[in-house]
Chains A and B, each alone.
Chain A
Amino acid sequence: MSEENGVIYRISGPVVTAIGIAPRMYEVVRVGNEGLMGEVIELHGDQSVIQVYEETSGIKPGEPVVRTGQTLSVQLGPGLLTQIYDGIQRPLPKLEETMGVFITRGVDADGLDLEKKWDFNANVKAGDEVSAGHVIGIVQETETIEHRVMIPPGKGGVVKKIDSGSFNITETVCKLEDGTEIAMMQEWPVRHPRPFIQKYAPDVPLMTGQRILDFLFPLAKGGTAGIPGPFGSGKTVTQQQLAKWSDAQIVVYIGCGERGNEMTEVLDEFPHLIDPNTNKPLMNRTVMIANTSNMPVAAREASVYTGVTIAEYFRDMGYNVALMADSTSRWAEAMREISSRLEEMPGEEGYPAYLSSRLAEFYERAGRVQTLAGDDGSVSVIGAVSPPGGDISEPVSQGTLRIVKVFWGLDAGLARQRHFPAINWLSSYSLYPQALDQWYRDNIASDFPEVRTEISTLLQVEAELQEIVQLVGSDALPIDQQLTLEVARMIREFFLQQNAFHDVDTYSDLKLQYDMARAILSFQEEAKKAIAGGAQLEDVVNVPARTDLMRGRFEKGYNDKIGELVSEMGKQISSSMEAN
């Protein structure tokens, strides 16, 4: 028996054991008569344990297993954007072409179209010295995104010959003096982070247009966030909102072990949504990975690595990339399932003992970096977490919260009241505001941090007052505290609630968010004065201009009108005092 070709000894679901073969760890092998793709995940005496990325039923012991010499890698180059892949970078449209609407097995597909010609524009010339990460040419990949073709890591030298023109991605576009040939496509093993020079501390916010996120619990470009919540609390809608509206230049959206229809929704919707930053369809900047709950678990395990590697690749071009993984719990469960087939010693709740280190390694691939070429690029990672029963004391939530810097805690109670986004403003947090405050002062308003503090203090105070209200009713409170409750209600209903499905309300830029927060504070101020002057709380609260201000946020052009609406509200509140 050759070391290159072995046979199957055992099959247990997605895990196959082979003998007579001596592969390396994480090497890709071909399993069975159909040549199903698998990856070596354990070496054990003369046995090699393989996780198989496709259905294994019908396969027998004795069928062949063949080495490929490769580790699990993705193809990187023009053609990634607008594509939708399964967990191992097989383009789903390609699979549809060959298999029909149901995903059967045994079909290989390149991640990128190897035939398609792209217009390559060289921006270095013969004699130039180029090193790894150096951009040697540009391809206009989509309407809005230029693909910067780079020297792959580990290569470099003096350019001998480089041509602009029409090439496919495997043709040589650049030759170096030492004979190295560079094509537009490079490959990278997914389980290894791509190299960079150094990490910087993030100091620019990732703006998402979601008021509660940007204003109270901001994420920085290159930062990490976790969104745990029970089913139906809004993880997916929040992730999709981020994919739509965040001001990243590239978005990688991973549907990891979740619903098929949710991916279809993204596919249907994104080509028609206009990016507020570029005025072009959002699809142009998006790469999708869809390994839904009913697709093979081993490929689900791989999907987050496939996604984050693609994200790093665009980061290396100097882009700000945002990656969403919905849901990291399903990824963790895939690890658990494979681990239990390997009969590994289980840790907490059956998860493998290495769960938390895998989570940490994954989030560690986020960051704002100095790229090999010396540019600034970032990957922000936002992971949804699906804790059983909504109880975040479980291992995946806890492992995530130890690492991420932003916690957006979704709350079933709020979701039941249809308060969306159902992010609990008392338990959520962000560790970034300090690093970002200077940016807010310089770019939005000099008192931005102070306004934020006032708003969050009001919410804290409300929570304390609510406890009293539960005992005595709100009418028993002194008038100033009743006003505080009204102001807090306004924060919740007017500011924190934001309807993802409303054309206008779905997105508020940061300046508008600030204006809305100020409007609330100005209501508080005017109301205090009026009440001190003898006005009734009921009258102050019910001035028509306040309703107009609040309902106005659903109408186009609100940014321009809000100032006027606030001063009208002020006038009406003052006159409610005179009426008394």
Chain B
Amino acid sequence: MSGKEYRTITDVKGPLVFLNKTEPVSFGEIVQLRLSDGSMKNGQVLDTSDDQVIVQVFEGTASVDRQTGVKFLGDVFKLPVSKDLIGRILDGAGRPRDGGPEIVADDMADIIGAAINPYSRQSPESFIQTGISAIDACTSLVRGQKLPIFSASGLPHNDIALQIARQAKLVDSDDDFVVVFCAMGITAEEYNFFVHDLERTGALENAALFVNLADDPAVERLITPRLALTAAEYLAFEHDYHVLVIYTDMTNYCESLRQIGAAREEVPGRRGYPGYMYTDLAMLYERAGLVKGKKGSITQFPILTMPGDDITHPIPDLSGYITEGQIVISRELHQKGIYPPINVLPSLSRLMNAGIGPGKTREDHKSVSDQLYAAYAQGRELRGLVAIVGEDALNERDLQLLKFSDIFEDQFLRQGRDEDRTIHEGTLDLAWKLLANIDTKYLVRLDQKWIDKYHPTDKKEE
């Protein structure tokens, strides 16, 4: 590994270093920089040719000068992986941050991660009960899914992510999850909040943390999630763990990506983000799922904050195009004092159909969820109308739907931070109870047979 040290830097621009007169250097190779004060930085080759090599420096280029020594380490970025990652806290570049020893590697894993052969995937279909009614009923999560939380600054996305991490379980199995937590540019306060909560519930011993905080190098954020996912893949596919990966905040990650693009003077895509951001994000998000012949799984919960609460901003937009749905946090509900303020209407779980129904949750689940959506959507729409014409102009059906939308928010969405509702009694039965506020003749999404069986007033004696 001991290569030659070059002192041939010609240009330094943002996080990039340009140098020439090297021997052939490979694309993606890891680079070590030695500054004149003896301190070290790390980087990676972004472009290589006979004449010039471009290196992206993870820690930023502060204090780099033409005298800085550059050494190419002859290999791409790898993470030492072992089961001992569980229970450890590492920094954003994979070094111990908890004062513990170096990880003794069972293997060195390339952090870019190869694509899973689509033919080798196994469809996710095991329902995960999160104990949160809005999610379990309307955007049901399955093991192996990638389901981001679309939030915005000042909203309780961290509480929700932690509540999910605490409560997530399969209904009829005691397989546990291990958590891989990845922080990208979040504040120390947010980070402490996560760590304390994981500690409080004993989950920390069952977690691996990769941490890049707001005052850590921005460019390093580009590798932190790759380290976390590499660890997750190792644990899931070499050691049969069910891994829950929570990473936050994807928005910071994308900002770093934009910074590199700008420094390379690339032609930007929308709003200055690189044209390849979709592909880049896909190379993270697609590292979720199940594969044939392996017991473990990777379920992802990326958290992102939508700049300006705008769901059409490139970061949520490109994410939504890749992930298997999204959970959308609403400022309006938050301001009404509702926790968790999940707006189910723009939320979606694309894998829900595979995970619910008879034998999995309950036979009426799909119908109930469709009906909740339809009624709540119409009820909310009527609020706008009522603001103009008053309730008097509404017919009976509309009045009932209007009232339902309030009840739904107040009793169905709202629940405690430690309230863990079961899917049957806690969530679906509650849904029926609330739907009973609407005449059955208006409940057109419900099959008659489910009305006969589950409707609280129509219910036949068993």
Mark A residues whose CB is within 8 Å of B: 9-13, 17, 55-63, 84, 92-93, 95-96, 99-104, 230-232, 255, 257, 259-261, 263-265, 267-268, 290, 292-295, 297, 330, 333, 336-337, 340, 346, 349-350, 386, 388-391, 412, 416-418, 469-476, 493, 501, 542, 547, 550-551, 554
In angstroms, how far is the closest chain A Cβ from the Cβ of B352?
10
If A93-B119, A337-B275 are given as contacts, then 9 extra A-B residue pairs at C-beta distance below 8 Å, sorted by A number, are A55-B112, A57-B76, A59-B27, A95-B119, A101-B120, A261-B324, A268-B123, A388-B270, A390-B312
* Chain B residues whose CB sits within 8 angstroms of the CB of A292 once the complex forms: 115, 118, 282, 286
With contacts A292-B286, A493-B444, A551-B448 known, is A57 near B50, CB below 8 A?
A: no
Which residues 401-433 in B have Cβ within 8 Å of A in the complex?
none
With contacts A349-B269, A476-B393 known, is A294 near B286, CB below 8 A?
A: yes
Stretch from B34-42, B177-185, B290-298 at the A interface: B290-298
Q: Which one of B24, B269, B322, B350 contacts A62 once the chains associate, using CB atoms below 8 Å?
A: B24
Q: Which residue of A lies closest to B22 (CB)?
A: A61
Complex contact B123–A473 (CB within 8 A)? no
Question: 23 A-B pairs, CB-CB below 8 angstroms?
Answer: A11-B48, A55-B114, A57-B28, A58-B76, A59-B26, A61-B24, A101-B120, A101-B237, A101-B293, A102-B116, A103-B116, A232-B320, A232-B346, A257-B279, A261-B124, A263-B118, A264-B119, A267-B119, A290-B118, A388-B318, A418-B370, A470-B385, A470-B388
B266 close to chain A: CB less than 8 A: yes
Complex contact A61–B314 (CB within 8 A)? no
Binary contact readout B81-113 vs A (1 if CB under 8 angstroms, 0 otherwise): 000000000000000000000000000000011
* Chain A residues whose CB sits within 8 angstroms of the CB of B193 once the complex forms: none
B317 close to chain A: CB less than 8 A: yes
Complex contact B322–A259 (CB within 8 A)? yes
B395 close to chain A: CB less than 8 A: yes
In angstroms, how far is the closest chain A Cβ from the Cβ of B325?
7
* Chain B residues whose CB sits within 8 angstroms of the CB of A93 once the complex forms: 119
B200 close to chain A: CB less than 8 A: no
Q: Which one of B115, B393, B441, B448 contacts A294 once the chains associate, using CB atoms below 8 Å?
A: B115
A265 to B352 alpha-carbon distance, docked (Å): 13
Q: Which one of B112, B377, B395 contacts A475 once the chains associate, using CB atoms below 8 Å?
A: B395
Complex contact A103–B448 (CB within 8 A)? no
In angstroms, how far is the closest chain A Cβ from the Cβ of B371?
9
* Chain B residues whose CB sits within 8 angstroms of the CB of A294 once the complex forms: 115, 279, 282-283, 286-287
Q: Which one of B48, B123, B266, B385 contacts A264 once the chains associate, using CB atoms below 8 Å?
A: B123
A495 to B322 alpha-carbon distance, docked (Å): 31
Q: Which residue of B lies closest to A472 (CB)?
A: B389
A95 to B448 alpha-carbon distance, docked (Å): 49
In angstroms, how far is the closest chain B Cβ from the Cβ of A45?
14
* Chain B residues whose CB sits within 8 angstroms of the CB of A391 once the complex forms: 312
Identify the 4 closest CB pairs spanning chains A and B, nearest first: A473-B393, A57-B28, A389-B312, A10-B49
Q: How large is the interface on B (under 10, 10 to 19, 20 to 34, 35 or more residues)?
A: 35 or more
With contacts A58-B76, A261-B351, A418-B373 known, is A330 near B278, CB below 8 A?
A: yes
* Chain B residues whose CB sits within 8 angstroms of the CB of A17 once the complex forms: 49
In angstroms, how far is the closest chain B Cβ from the Cβ of A403?
23
A416 to B312 alpha-carbon distance, docked (Å): 15
With contacts A255-B118, A268-B123 known, is A293 near B270, CB below 8 A?
A: no
Complex contact B270–A349 (CB within 8 A)? yes
With contacts A57-B112, A260-B121, A333-B278 known, is A11 near B47, CB below 8 A?
A: yes
A231 to B124 alpha-carbon distance, docked (Å): 20
* Chain B residues whose CB sits within 8 angstroms of the CB of A61 once the complex forms: 24-25, 48-50
With contacts A231-B320, A232-B325 known, is A471 near B24, CB below 8 A?
A: no
Q: Which residue of B lies closest to A232 (CB)?
A: B348
Q: Which residue of B lies closest to A91 (CB)?
A: B119
Which residues 220-238 in B have Cβ within 8 Å of A in the complex?
237
A259 to B312 alpha-carbon distance, docked (Å): 20
In angstroms, how far is the closest chain B Cβ from the Cβ of A225?
20
Q: Which one of A60, A231, A493 contacts B26 once the chains associate, using CB atoms below 8 Å?
A: A60
* Chain A residues whose CB sits within 8 angstroms of the CB of B389 once the complex forms: 471-473
B337 close to chain A: CB less than 8 A: no
Mark B residues whose CB is within 8 Å of A: 24-29, 46-50, 75-76, 112-124, 237, 266-270, 275-276, 278-279, 282-283, 286-287, 289, 291-294, 312-314, 317-318, 320-322, 324-326, 345-346, 348, 350-351, 353, 366, 370, 373-374, 377-378, 385, 388-389, 392-395, 398, 441, 444, 447-448
* Chain A residues whose CB sits within 8 angstroms of the CB of B374 once the complex forms: 417-418
Complex contact A101–B123 (CB within 8 A)? no
Residue with the greatest number of chain B CB neighbours at <10 A, chosen from A56, A57, A93, A297:
A57
Complex contact B278–A10 (CB within 8 A)? no
In angstroms, how far is the closest chain B Cβ from the Cβ of A189?
26
A493 to B370 alpha-carbon distance, docked (Å): 13
A474 to B351 alpha-carbon distance, docked (Å): 38
A290 to B115 alpha-carbon distance, docked (Å): 12
A475 to B378 alpha-carbon distance, docked (Å): 17
Q: Which one of B26, B268, B279 contacts A337 once the chains associate, using CB atoms below 8 Å?
A: B279
Q: Which residue of A lies closest to B377 (CB)?
A: A417
Q: Which one of B29, B119, B444 contacts A84 once the chains associate, using CB atoms below 8 Å?
A: B119
A60 to B29 alpha-carbon distance, docked (Å): 9
Q: Which residue of B lies closest to A235 (CB)?
A: B321
Q: Which one of B47, B321, B345 contacts A416 once the chains associate, using CB atoms below 8 Å?
A: B345
In angstroms, how far is the closest chain B Cβ from the Cβ of A86?
9
Q: Which one of A10, A96, A340 contacts B275 once the chains associate, using CB atoms below 8 Å?
A: A340
Complex contact B377–A416 (CB within 8 A)? yes
* Chain A residues whose CB sits within 8 angstroms of the CB of B276 once the complex forms: 297, 333, 337
A231 to B312 alpha-carbon distance, docked (Å): 10
In angstroms, how far is the closest chain A Cβ from the Cβ of B260?
12
Complex contact A259–B324 (CB within 8 A)? yes
Complex contact B291–A12 (CB within 8 A)? no
Q: Which residue of A lies closest to B75 (CB)?
A: A58
Q: Which residue of A lies closest to B110 (CB)?
A: A57
In angstroms, how far is the closest chain A Cβ from the Cβ of B16?
13
Q: Which one of A297, A550, A554 contacts B447 once the chains associate, using CB atoms below 8 Å?
A: A554
A474 to B266 alpha-carbon distance, docked (Å): 55
Complex contact B393–A259 (CB within 8 A)? no
In angstroms, how far is the closest chain A Cβ from the Cβ of B83?
20
Complex contact B322–A293 (CB within 8 A)? yes
* Chain A residues whose CB sits within 8 angstroms of the CB of B113 once the complex forms: 102
In angstroms, how far is the closest chain A Cβ from the Cβ of B442?
10
* Chain A residues whose CB sits within 8 angstroms of the CB of B312 once the complex forms: 230, 388-391
